[in-house]
Chains A and B, each alone.
Chain A
Amino acid sequence: MTGAGAFSAAGRWTPVRAAAGAAARAELTPAAVTRIGAVLGVLAALWFSSGDLRGAVAGSVLLGAVLFCDEVRDVRAGPRQDALADWLDVVLGRLREYAVYAGLAIGGVLAGAEDAWAWAAGALIAHALRDTAIASGTAGAAAPGPAAPRRREWSSAVLGGLDPERPPADPDFTRELLGDPVPDPGRPRRRRSGSYALAARPGPLSGLRAAACFPEPMRFLVIAVTAVLADVRVTFIALIVGCAIAVTAALVDPRPDEGRR
């Protein structure tokens, strides 16, 4: 769900595990952790809106806390999630980032950059196009391939005479007969984002591919560094350039596993 896993390996970093354990003891659901992350994002936007160095530093720290919440949420989340909670994950993730853009624009206007809102809107557009390109590439790459017929042939050969085109059985009845499947401990607990999937793919270019997606941690890093060291216009230009690279990468090399953040 999040791209944070590309750089911090969720579940292996002790503070994340400890925080996830504390969240479990406090009976905090993944959706609640998502909402906490959204609130932290809005707080970061409020700090950025001050337009001074202290606000930029505090906002950057809060952005780190947002990413930490994402990691905790991913560790807490099971393989299944409620449809509304899943939707809220995506929408709140967008909203908190756009709130940060708005906060940066307000801070920029206060600091004397009159065109900060236009640049913020440009960064928003670039981010939206990145998402659209990834989604379109996923849709295009998800076309039915030859794998499904091979599975049918295999099962038909094993079972002998079984109609390969027969409809699937009733899942509830199958579960009643066979019981719930035992989860494989080696399998990731949750489908992860594209950056995670790309980073996990072996090969010397996996890191470069993950970075080319311009995932959320990288965007937040760019925001934090440029907001502290430079003008907000530099922040928005860097975001636009990063998203343009991500759009190009998504259109040139679409990956079915690429994620939504």
Chain B
Amino acid sequence: MEEYPEPDGTARSHVRFLRDDGHLGRALGRLAGGALPPLPPALTAALATAVLLAVGLGEVSGITLFAPVALLLPAAAASGHPHGGRFDRAVPPLLRGTEYLYLLALGIGAGVPGPLVFVLLTVVVLHHCDTVCRTHRGTGRSGRTARALLGWDGRMLLVAAGGALGWLPFTYGALAVCLAVLLVADSVREWANTPVARPADVPRNERGGAQASTT
């Protein structure tokens, strides 16, 4: 979770920003040095996680709750890759889909009230929606907020720890409240300070330059 845009300033930055990696993912990405392609591990982990969830995560408890997160670690290690491949744009939907399915299956399987699962998913989805808005604006997120949002890996680890300790409803509620407060506070502050005009929407002539002086 770094400031946006990244130094290369290309569309690949958007895909990397949309990944929403956390502390662990970024650390593993630095360790791998961008040598790992992002799509194969994300696809493999998503399929394995889906199979695990379909088999019945509600019956799983204790340390085995961390299995889906462990399956996703190779995908996290690919976070340092520039994501310039043709199909690398499929990585953010895969990662997010895995996170959503994990939160849903774990919550429903462990008896967390349905409305609480729905609220947590809504907050996480709105956080991702805010991320998409930021890619359209080309604005970043403050470092402190980015760290507090944990990333997909941090949130999954936190929920797995809550499940292992038997505090799942409390974990879901606390995570939902924290994310909601961070989302509202940071977004309102950020967007209120953003200039009215969006550079991409301003006609070229209005930006000056060669064509402006000839037409």
Q: Which of A175-223 contact B (CB under 8 A)?
A: 175, 178, 180-181, 191
Query: In the docked arrangement, what's the CA distance between A190 and B136, Å?
Result: 15
> In the bound complex, do residue A129 and residue B96 qualify as a contact, i.e. CB atoms below 8 Å apart?
yes
**Which of B115, B128, B130, B211 is the one whose CB lies under 8 Å from A132?**
B128
| Minimal Cβ-Cβ distance residue in A for B13 | A139
User: In the complex the two chains form, what is the Cα distance from A191 to B128 in whole Å?
Assistant: 22
Kindly supply a per-residue 1/0 record for chain A positions 93-121, scoring 1 wherever the CB is within 8 Å of any chain B CB and 0 otherwise.
Answer: 01100100110010000000000111011
Residue of B whose beta carbon sits closest to that of A117: B114
Q: Are B191 and A120 neighbours in the complex by a CB distance under 8 Å?
A: no
Greatest chain B CB density within 10 A among A128, A168, A175 is at: A128
Q: Is A26 an interface residue (CB 8 A)?
A: no
Q: What are the interface flags for A55-87 relative to B under an 8 Å C-beta threshold, 1 for contact and 0 otherwise? A: 000000000000000000000000111111011
Known: A83-B191, A83-B196, A139-B11. A162 touches B210 (CB 8 A): yes
Q: How many residues of A contact B (CB 8 A)?
A: 61
B121 contacts the other chain (CB 8 A): yes
Cα A51 to Cα B15 with chains together (Å): 41
Whether B93 lies near A98 (C-beta < 8 A) is: no
Tell me the bound Cα distance from A86 to B194 in angstroms: 11
Chain B 189-215: CB-based contact to A (< 8 A → 1; otherwise 0): 001101111100111011111111110
Report the interface size class on chain B. 35 or more
Q: Contact at A132–B96, with CB atoms within 8 Å?
A: yes
The answer to whether the Cβ of B171 comes within 8 Å of any Cβ in the partner chain is no
Query: What string of 1s and 0s marks CB contacts (under 8 Å) between B109-123 and chain A?
Result: 000001101100110
A121→B126 contact, CB < 8 A: no
Of B86, B93, B101, which is in contact with the most chain A CB atoms at under 10 Å from its CB?
Answer: B93
Contact B114 A140 (CB under 8 A): no
Question: Are the CB atoms of B97 and A251 closer together than 8 Å?
Answer: no
> Min CB distance, B202 to chain A, in Å?
7
For window 158-177 of A, CB contacts with B under 8 Å fall at: 158-159, 162, 168-171, 173-175
Cα–Cα, bound, A105→B114 (Å): 9
Contact indicator A171/B96 (Cβ below 8 Å): no
Q: Is the CB of B92 within 8 A of A132?
A: yes
Contact of A136 (CB < 8 Å), options: B89, B187, B194, B213? B89
B93/A132 in contact, CB under 8 A = yes
A: residues with CB less than 8 A from B are 79-84, 86-87, 90-91, 94-95, 98, 101-102, 105, 116-118, 120-122, 124-125, 127-129, 131-133, 135-144, 151, 155-156, 158-159, 162, 168-171, 173-175, 178, 180-181, 191, 247, 251, 254, 260
Q: Which B positions have Cβ atoms within 8 angstroms of A?
A: 10-12, 14-15, 18, 86, 88-93, 96-97, 100-101, 104, 108, 114-115, 117-118, 121-122, 125-126, 128-130, 132-133, 135-137, 187-188, 191-192, 194-198, 201-203, 205-214
The 10 A-B pairs at the shortest CB distance, nearest first, are namely: A117-B114, A169-B208, A139-B14, A155-B210, A140-B89, A83-B194, A174-B208, A136-B89, A84-B191, A143-B11
